[in-house]
Amino acid sequence: MSKESDEQLMLAVQTGALEKLNVLCERYQKRIYNYCLKSVLDADDSADLTQNIFIRVLKYRKSYKAGSNFEFWLFQIARNQVKDHFRKMKVHRDQFQAADVLPDRADDSDEEQREREQRLMQALSLLPEEKRELLVLSKFEGMKYEQIAALKSISVSAVKVQVHRTIKQLKELYFEIKS
């Protein structure tokens, strides 16, 4: 694995060293895929979105500004792609099926854990897109509230309040599904 920073790699990509994009893809492909999966709740769509996001990185490489945070720039692209996906598909939250998202497991010895994961995914699918995105970014992707605030153009305190309320709503949905 390359020891170059994301920013150094992206600057190299900008100047024509397109092979450096492979290193960035290796670093971020799983995180971007997981972000998409938790946002759109469909494995095939998530794979397509992930591929399209890295194609956009290549296509719009000249718009990356030297000195800016590559990860932030990448997640802006990912967020826009997810929004475009919802716009194109005109998806309604009641169309999501959590069972379609979770992989089938041959080993059912962990049945209880699998059921909890299914309930969580189902509860996530019932959240509005904006709230689901907040949770995915803060809890699953580990973004700091400051980064989320900049990405969504809202204050840090608004992010904190919205995340807290969304977690509360998710818990309620989770336990409604459980009963």
pLDDT 10s digits, 133-175: 888 888 888 888 998 998 888 999 999 999 999 999 988 988 8
Phi-psi sector, 90: left (phi>0), alpha (psi -120 to 50), beta = left
* 73 and 137 share one domain: no
Return the CATH number at 63: 1.10.1740.10
At residue 101, the pLDDT reads 43
∠ CA 167-73-164, rounded to 5°: 10
Band of pLDDT at residue 35, cut at 50, 70 and 90: very high
Asked whether residue 179 falls in the same domain as residue 100, the answer is yes
Instruction: Decide: 169 and 125 in contact? Cβ < 8 Å.
Output: no
pTM: 0.65
Assess whether pLDDT exceeds 50 at residue 103: no
Residues 6 or more apart whose Cβ sits within 8 Å of residue 70: 5, 6, 7, 9, 10, 24, 64
Helix runs in 5-66, H state only: 6-14, 20-40, 43-59
Whole domain around residue 109: which residue ranges? 93-179
Q: Please give the Cα distance from 40 to 115 (Å, whole number).
A: 20
As for how many domains the chain has, the answer is: 2
Residue 79, helix vs strand vs coil: helix
| pLDDT for residue 44 is more than 70 | yes
Nearest to 122 by CA among 104, 140, 95, 141: 95
Per-residue pLDDT at 83:
87
Residue 118's CATH number: 1.10.10.10
Identify whether residues 87 and 53 lie together within a single domain. yes
Q: What is the pLDDT of residue 109?
A: 54
| Share of residues in the chain with pLDDT > 70 (%) | 87
pLDDT at 17: 93
